Structure 1
Amino acid sequence: MSLPGSPYVAYAFEILYSKLHRIRPPLSLSSFKSCYGVPISHRTEKHPLFVTWNIIVGSEKELRGCIGTFSPMEIQSGIKEFALTAAFQDNRFDPIELEELEELSCDITLLKDFEKVEDIWDWDLGTHGIRISFTYHNRLRSATFLPDVAVEQNWDKETTMRYLVAKGGGPRSITDFGKLDISLTRYKGEKSHITYSEFKEIRKRAVSH
């Protein structure tokens, strides 16, 4: 029987779970790799990555925090850092509290295949994440959407770009994107996802390994 998610997203949940329950030390990434039957490599794994927390409300989910890095990081330390940063330091939201834990789901997205493109529309919905930079009011701005964001919101490309410009601190009602001289990099992501209840079952296995 295959397990949901991946050892990486299970480990991210472990970091938040152990922090909120004041458990020290947390279980290791290797413990979760053993559960999933993933070989433990002695080579250093490095990836750009993002951690996303959502609250599950019925059949819907609401964003609770999302932070990551475009710089390759050693994967265990990167997940540990951004699992907590996304949970407690995303300034769009209040810090996650213990009472919310059972309603959470977690996503890990490992980023790859970065390509800077000349045409800002040269990317595909559902396939590419996009990162833009532009100057507005004499300040350099930047923002990103992960590959699944536009599809989950049912946005077309123009709507996606408009929201991304606004996210970066640009004008909220822009129609002529050429005025901003936008630089765009597209990328792909390997996403894994688990809910709290799935994590608890996986954690039981990790403890017994």
Structure 2
Amino acid sequence: MIDAVVLRVAKSAILSKFDGSYSFDKETLLDKYPFLKKKGACFVTLEYSGNLRGCIGSIIAHRTLLDDIISNAISAAFKDPRFNPLSKEELSNLNLEVSILTPPEILEYEDYEDLLKKVTPFKDGLILNYGSYQGTFLPQVWDDLKTPELFLEHLSYKAGTNPSVFAYHPSIYRYRVEAIEENFDEVLPL
């Protein structure tokens, strides 16, 4: 039930930008699904024909889960700076995923070798923070970067630095996600 509602909210938010008839009453949704009232953080990922098409999200919960899903769905579809805005023609080959994050927790480690041992592949999402450098990878990235060494190396690049940053003991935060995905066409709008 929760899975279907989360995907339906994301799909309807995207469709509402193409057709105003897909708008929905937020208060009714919040009354019917109280979990959407709680502060929550999520990422919305779009894939077109198996390739990344947009991915925007929040690391820290700072608004209701409902508002976070709506905002991140619209941003993933139309405001991801890596891609042109989504076109109506792309909807038929689109996959929609919403990942709801647990609150990040600091990962205590002694050195790089200790960090490698404490990272849990295919479960941990990680945030690297060092000075002005910050980046995150969702746990789904483990599908492409299957070892802790590769995962951390590429995370450092995403943060705008390089693997030498680990010599300076950057802050590493760990979180988990509940990922819900479906072919866009198969998700019923609200």
Q: How does 1:1-209 map to 2 (within 5 A)?
A: 5-20=3-18, 22-24=19-21, 26-28=23-25, 40-41=33-34, 44-56=37-49, 61-72=50-61, 73-119=63-109, 120-121=115-116, 122-135=118-131, 140-150=132-142, 152-171=143-162, 174=163, 176-199=164-187, 202-203=188-189, 206=190
- Whole-Å Cα distance in 1 between the matches of residues 130 and 136 of structure 2? 12
Normalized per residue, the structure richer in strand is 1
Unaligned runs of 5+ in 2: 110-114
- Whole-Å Cα distance in 1 between the matches of residues 107 and 148 of structure 2? 15
What percentage of residue pairs aligned between the two structures are identical? 24
Unaligned runs of 5+ in 1: 34-38
Instruction: Indicate if the aligned counterparts of 1:130 and 1:185 stay in contact, CA closer than 8 A.
Output: yes
Pair 43,104 (structure 1): closer, same or farther in 2 beyond 3 Å = closer
Instruction: Indicate if the aligned counterparts of 1:109 and 1:192 stay in contact, CA closer than 8 A.
Output: yes
SS in 2 for 1:16: helix
- Counterpart AA for 1:190: E
How many residues align? The count is: 183
- Counterpart AA for 1:9: L
RMSD value over aligned CA atoms? 2.6
- Counterpart AA for 1:161: L
TM-score (norm: length of structure 1): 0.77
TM-aligned CA deviation for residue 177 of structure 1: 4.6
- Whole-Å Cα distance in 1 between the matches of residues 145 and 106 of structure 2? 25
Normalized per residue, the structure richer in helix is 2
- Whole-Å Cα distance in 2 between the matches of residues 43 and 80 of structure 1? 11
